[in-house]
Structure 1
Amino acid sequence: MKRSGPLFTLLAGLLLALFMLSLNATTGTRSTSVGSDTPPDTSSPSPKPTATATATPEKPSRSPSPSPSKTALPTGDYAGRTDDDSSAVAVTLRDGKAVAYFCDGRDQESWLKGDVKDDGSMRLTSQKGDVLTAELTGRRIRGTVDMGQREYGFTADKALKPSGLYRATETVRGAKVDGGWIVLPNGRQVGILKRDDKPAAAPPIDPETGAVTVDGQQLTARPVTP
Structure 2
Amino acid sequence: MKRSGPLLTLLAGLLLGLFLLTLNATTGTRPASASGGDSPGTKVSPSPTPSPPSSPTTSTPPPAPSGSPPPDADYAGRTDDDSSAVAVSLRDGKAIAYFCDGRDKESWLKGDVEDDDSMKLTGGNGGVLNGTLKDTRIRGTVEIGDQEYGFSAAKAVKPSGLYRATETVRDAEVDGGWIVLQDGRQVGILKRDGKPSPAPEIDPRTGAVTIDGERLTARPVNP
Relative to the length of structure 1, the TM-score reads 0.69
Partner of 2:9: none
1:212 pairs with 177, 194, 209, which one?
A: 209
| Pairing 1:78–2:75 present | yes
Q: 1:212 and 1:72 mapped to 2: Cα distance?
A: 38
Partner of 2:48: none
Partners of 2:77 and 2:154 within 8 A in 1: yes
Distance 1:187 1:129, change over 3 A: same
| Pairing 1:144–2:141 present | yes
Aligned length: 161
AA partner of residue 76 (structure 1): A
Deviations 1:120-141 (A, max 9, x none): 1000000221100000000000
Percent of aligned pairs with the same amino acid: 72
Superposition pairs of residues 64-143 of structure 1, within 5 angstroms: 69-74=65-70, 75-143=72-140
Partners of 2:179 and 2:187 within 8 A in 1: yes
1:191 pairs with 173, 188, 192, which one?
A: 188
Q: 2:111 and 2:79 mapped to 1: Cα distance?
A: 20
Runs in 1 of length 4+ with deviation above 4 angstroms? none
Displacement of 1:207? 0.2
SS at match of 2:125: coil
Unaligned 5+ segments in structure 2 are 1-61
Partners of 2:125 and 2:145 within 8 A in 1: no
Displacement of 1:191? 0.0
Deviations 1:74-115 (A, max 9, x none): 120000000000000000000010000000000000000000
| Pairing 1:201–2:201 present | no
Displacement of 1:67? 8.5
Q: 1:141 and 1:86 mapped to 2: Cα distance?
A: 18
